[in-house]
A = this chain, B = another copy of it.
Amino acid sequence: MDQADVMDLVMRLRAVEDELAIRNLAARFTDAVNERDAGAFRQLWSHDAVWEIGPPLAARAEGIDAIVGMMARLLAPRTLFIQLTHSGVVTFTGEDTATSRFTEREHEKGQQDYYENLAVYRDVIARGPDGWRFKRRYYEYRYLDSSAFAGAVFDPGPSPEASA
C-alpha cells in the first residue's frame, strides 16, 4: 500500500465521518427539542447562525443567544411538543460546507391550541473548530392542521434508573 492509497483511504473515511456528523446534527436537534435540553441545543449552531421558520407560523432568530431564546420561547407554552425527523439528503458544497434537507413532522398542544404539520428543513452546515454546525435552518411548511386532537399527553417523568 503506497502513500496515494493511504491518502485515498483517509479521504474516504473522512467523507463517511462527515456525512454521519451532519446526520447526527439533525438528529441531535430533534432530540434536544423533544427533551427540552437548551444546553444540547446550543451546541448545534455556529455563533452567527440563522434559524428561520417560514409562513404561516413565521419566526426568525439570528445569533446563537437569540436562537436559544427562541427555542425556549416556542416550547414554554406547550404541554406537548414532539418533532419527528425522517430521512434526509446531504450534499457537500465544499470541503467544509454542506447543505441538507430533512422531511419533518411536528405535533404540538398548547393551552388551547393544537397543530400537526409536515415540513422540510433546508439547512446550510459548516465545519468550524468544534466540528459541523448549522449556519442556517429554514423550516418550510407543506401542511398545517390546527384542529384539536383527542389523545392524552404524558409528562416524561423519571425513567427507570438504569435506562438512558
Q: Which residues of A contact B (CB under 8 A)?
A: 1, 3, 6, 9-10, 12-13, 16-17, 19-20, 23-24, 26-28, 30-31, 34-35, 50, 52, 54-56, 80, 82-89, 91, 99-101, 103, 105, 107, 116-118, 120, 122-124, 136, 138, 140-147, 149-154, 156, 159-160, 162-164
Number of copies: 3
Query: Which of chain B's residues has its CB closest to A152's CB?
Result: B144
Partner of A30, one of B86, B91, B99, B156: B86
Chain B neighbourhood of A12, CB < 8 A: 13, 17
Partner of A140, one of B149, B152, B156: B156
Chain B neighbourhood of A122, CB < 8 A: 159, 163-164
On whether the beta carbons of B142 and A160 are closer than 8 Å, the reply is no
On whether the beta carbons of B153 and A142 are closer than 8 Å, the reply is yes
On whether the beta carbons of A87 and B89 are closer than 8 Å, the reply is no
